[in-house]
Amino acid sequence: MSNPVFYIIGGIMEQVHRVVLSHLDYDGEGKILEVGCGSGALTIRSALTWPKAKVIGVDHWGAVYNYSKALCEKNAAREGVASRCVFQHGDAKQLDFPDESFDVVISNYVYHNVMGADMQKLLLESLRVLKKGGVFALNDDMKPKMYGDMEGFAQKLRDMGYEEVRLVDIAQEAFGSHRRAAMMMLGSSRLLVGRK
């Protein structure tokens, strides 16, 4: 018998993925990068949502989670999108792609796992590989003591020429309430979205 807790969390994460993707103003053409793809679930959801897009998922796949490139590939094959999903080992601190390589950059609950990193630098590194005119949706538990002043960071992006930059409190949309998000230790969930 499967563990009901994993079923509930899996169902909630699927809802979170839908919310993250729903905030992208994207025509479905070109390439999507997911930073920190884990089991590949959001990469696969992106491929299912946009049938013309090629989706690349990168992850460090550390020993803490039982995720791997092989698991991601198996999951993509099971959903029928293996031909449009590529998974590779990567480091969020230094992405192995040239500037302006992707039309979309997405991430979901990843950056807080990167030990000792400056969160705002991590976000900027993810945005470095986004093409001019490309869109992004970066979701994490953006606790102020870890992330600093995110309203100030959003303004910094606007000052750098990014458009439609906003922080979205997704607790209600993704979890049904702030209380439920807090119970899952995700009470500071924020989605940083915009266009380069």
Range of the structural domain that residue 108 is part of: 4-195
Mean pLDDT of 51-65: 89
Residue 118 has pLDDT above 70, yes or no: yes
- Please check the confidence at residue 107 and state whether its pLDDT lies above 60: yes
Q: Between 4 and 107, name the one with better pLDDT.
A: 107
In the chain, the number of structural domains is 1
CATH number at residue 109: 3.40.50.150
DSSP notation for 98-117: -TT-EEEEEEES-GGGSTT-
pLDDT of residue 63: 67
pLDDT at 13: 84
Q: Which pLDDT value is given to residue 11? A: 73
Q: Which stretch of 10-14, 102-106, 121-125 has the lowest confidence by average pLDDT?
A: 10-14
Nearest to 51 by CA among 27, 70, 74: 27
